[in-house]
């Protein structure tokens, strides 16, 4: 008989898609879902970069698959979801992790940078949610986890497009929850704090900003990709069945300051 933890948090028999999972936060969350028993589809723009992740996931003993797609192109997103659903005939978990950032003062922020960020971080997320939602609603079950940000709550500095997109992801999460929670599909979000990833490389390298950031984190350290493992497994599992429309901050205590 499965243990209580397996019954609540186990993902055996589930199929998960994690976008932007060739490295960083996405890779860590894909590995966490696989360790909980899910079969996992990884995604990125470069097919070659996904091979190592597929091999790593397969070594855990689950089925792994890679689908290359650009989340900034709606046609690509729709193809990604169609192929993900077709792989095993169903999709139980969608983690919308893919995202980009452009750092420029607002008065100098170009249309091209704004459009690029919004197309991936917001349009891509909505398009993926819509396609996965149709499938999950027809089945009467599913888990969608959007990756928000501390800038879902705060404005940030020199990242107007990113802040706008992540604020919108928070509202989209709530809006979809309002429509879908009563039909078996839970939509929640994780708001990571300041994590050591490529997206924060410029901040980590800036001695002034890095010191300012660290001084405000009660945990007294930057987050690591692995810090999201527990949160994503919880939100993807049956343990969170009565949680919907929630934005879970994994931030070392930042929001409490």
Phi/psi of residue 42, nearest 5 degrees: -105, 155
Is 4 noted as a catalytic residue in this protein?
no
Please choose, from the candidates 162, 250, 257, 142, the residue with its C-alpha nearest in 3D space to the C-alpha of residue 202: 162
Write the DSSP string, 177-231: HHHHGGGTEEEEEEEE-SBSSGGGHHHHH-HHHHHHHHHH-TTSS-B-GGGGHHH
Tally of CB atoms within 10 A around 40: 30
Alpha helices in the chain (DSSP H): 4-9, 24-35, 47-58, 74-88, 111-118, 125-139, 160-180, 201-205, 207-216, 229-236
Residue from 4, 162, 194, 242 carrying the catalytic annotation: 162
Cα gap 189→179, rounded to integer Å? 16
- Give me the DSSP letters along 152-168: GTS--SS-HHHHHHHHH
Known catalytic residues are: 162
């Amino acid at each position: 008989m499965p243990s209580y933890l397996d019954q609540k948090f186990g993902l055996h028999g589930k199929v998960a898609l994690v976008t932007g999972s060739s490295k960083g936060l996405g890779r860590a969350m894909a590995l966490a879902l696989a360790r909980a028993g899910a079969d996992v589809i990884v995604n990125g723009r470069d097919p070659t970069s996904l091979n190592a992740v597929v091999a790593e996931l397969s070594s855990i003993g689950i089925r792994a698959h890679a689908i290359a797609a650009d989340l900034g192109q709606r046609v690509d997103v729709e193809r990604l979801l169609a192929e993900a659903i077709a792989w095993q005939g169903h999709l139980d978990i969608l983690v919308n992790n893919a995202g980009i950032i452009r750092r420029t003062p607002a008065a100098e922020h170009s249309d091209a940078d704004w459009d690029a960020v919004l197309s991936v971080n917001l349009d891509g997320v909505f398009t993926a949610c819509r396609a996965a939602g149709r499938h999950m609603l027809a089945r009467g079950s599913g888990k969608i986890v959007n990756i928000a940000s501390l800038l879902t709550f705060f404005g940030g500095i020199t990242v107007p497009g990113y802040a706008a997109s992540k604020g919108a992801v928070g509202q989209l999460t709530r809006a979809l929850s309002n429509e879908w929670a009563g039909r078996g599909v839970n939509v929640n979000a994780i708001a990571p704090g300041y994590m050591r990833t490529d997206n924060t490389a410029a901040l980590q390298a800036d001695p002034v900003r890095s010191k300012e950031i660290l001084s405000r984190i009660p945990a007294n350290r930057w987050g690591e990709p692995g810090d999201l493992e527990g949160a994503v497994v919880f939100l993807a599992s049956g343990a969170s069945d009565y949680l919907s429309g929630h934005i879970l901050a994994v931030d070392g205590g930042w929001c409490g300051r």
